[in-house]
Amino acid sequence: MARGIQSQATKYAHIVGALPIEIAAGVGDLTDHVPESEPYDDIKAAVIQRTSVSDEKRLQQLLTSCDLGDKRPSQLLRHMKQLAGPYKLDEALLKQTWFQRLPHSVRQILSVSGKSVALDDLADMADKMMEVYHDSHCVNSLQPAGSADISCLASFQRQLTQLTSQLASLQTTIATVF
């Protein structure tokens, strides 16, 4: 951003023009009334403070709501490391937390790797396992209809037949009257 710009006012003008709308709305007090001393530093600090997730929230996400989803295991690990942020989590704790989020079949295989394998290397191995697992398990399957589904369909079919009969009867009555 600096590009040789030293003036706080010039930096401020550039940054205000480049802010996304939702972030600009969050610092509207600083865009509506330009701070007199160090406007760039003030708006920078405000953007960081108002848009950042607290350390406690990041740690909570790491320990409770961080899951694999559509991510590769290595992506999940990088995301977890990012959430750990300034906390210097014990490598064993991070490994265990990450490990618990992997599919059971991948955990079984990785569990024999031993403690000497680096966590990033385990993540790479898990990525490869997931590729193989995904390729071999992409099968479209149909579940047979249960008896409850069949009886429900039969009930709907009876009701439809009754309604069709009633409609035909009404049409006959109307045709006779008119």
User: Which string of DSSP letters, residue by residue, matches 44-107?
Assistant: HHHHHHHHSPPHHHHHHIIIII---TTS-HHHHHHHHHHHHTTS---HHHHHHHHHHTS-HHHH
Q: Are residues 126 and 79 in the same domain?
A: yes
Stronger pLDDT, 155 or 109, i.e. the higher one: 109
Summarised one tens digit per residue, pLDDT across range 71-85 is 899 998 888 888 777
Residue 167 maps to a domain? no
Stronger pLDDT, 1 or 74, i.e. the higher one: 74
Residue 178 maps to a domain? no
Q: Are residues 39 and 90 in the same domain?
A: no
Average pLDDT over residues 13-31: 84
Q: Are residues 32 and 74 in the same domain?
A: no
pTM exceeding 0.75: no
Q: Which of 104, 97, 90 has the alpha carbon at shortest distance from 61?
A: 97
Q: Are 47 and 30 in contact (CB under 8 A)?
A: no
Predicted local distance difference test score (pLDDT) of residue 68: 80
Residue 142 maps to a domain? no
Q: Are residues 82 and 120 in the same domain?
A: yes
Q: Are residues 39 and 81 in the same domain?
A: no
Q: Are residues 123 and 102 in the same domain?
A: yes
Q: Are residues 66 and 130 in the same domain?
A: yes
Q: Are residues 80 and 127 in the same domain?
A: yes
Average pLDDT over residues 148-177: 81
Predicted local distance difference test score (pLDDT) of residue 141: 53
Q: Are residues 131 and 93 in the same domain?
A: yes
Task: Give me the number of domains the chain comprises.
Answer: 2
Q: Are residues 83 and 19 in the same domain?
A: no
Q: Are residues 77 and 108 in the same domain?
A: yes
Stronger pLDDT, 38 or 51, i.e. the higher one: 38
* Alpha-carbon span 140 to 117, nearest angstrom: 36
- The pLDDT > 90 percentage for the chain reads 5
Predicted local distance difference test score (pLDDT) of residue 54: 67
Residue 17 maps to a domain? yes
CB count, 10 Å around CB of 76? 20
Summarised one tens digit per residue, pLDDT across range 119-161 is 899 999 999 988 887 655 555 555 665 666 677 787 778 888 8
Residue 162 maps to a domain? no
Boundary residue ending a domain (136, 153, 171): 136
Residue 177 maps to a domain? no
What's the distance, CA 37 to chain centroid? 40
Tell me which residue range forms the domain holding 77. 59-136
Q: Are residues 41 and 98 in the same domain?
A: no
Predicted local distance difference test score (pLDDT) of residue 94: 83
Summarised one tens digit per residue, pLDDT across range 94-106 is 888 888 888 888 8
Residue 163 maps to a domain? no
Predicted local distance difference test score (pLDDT) of residue 142: 56
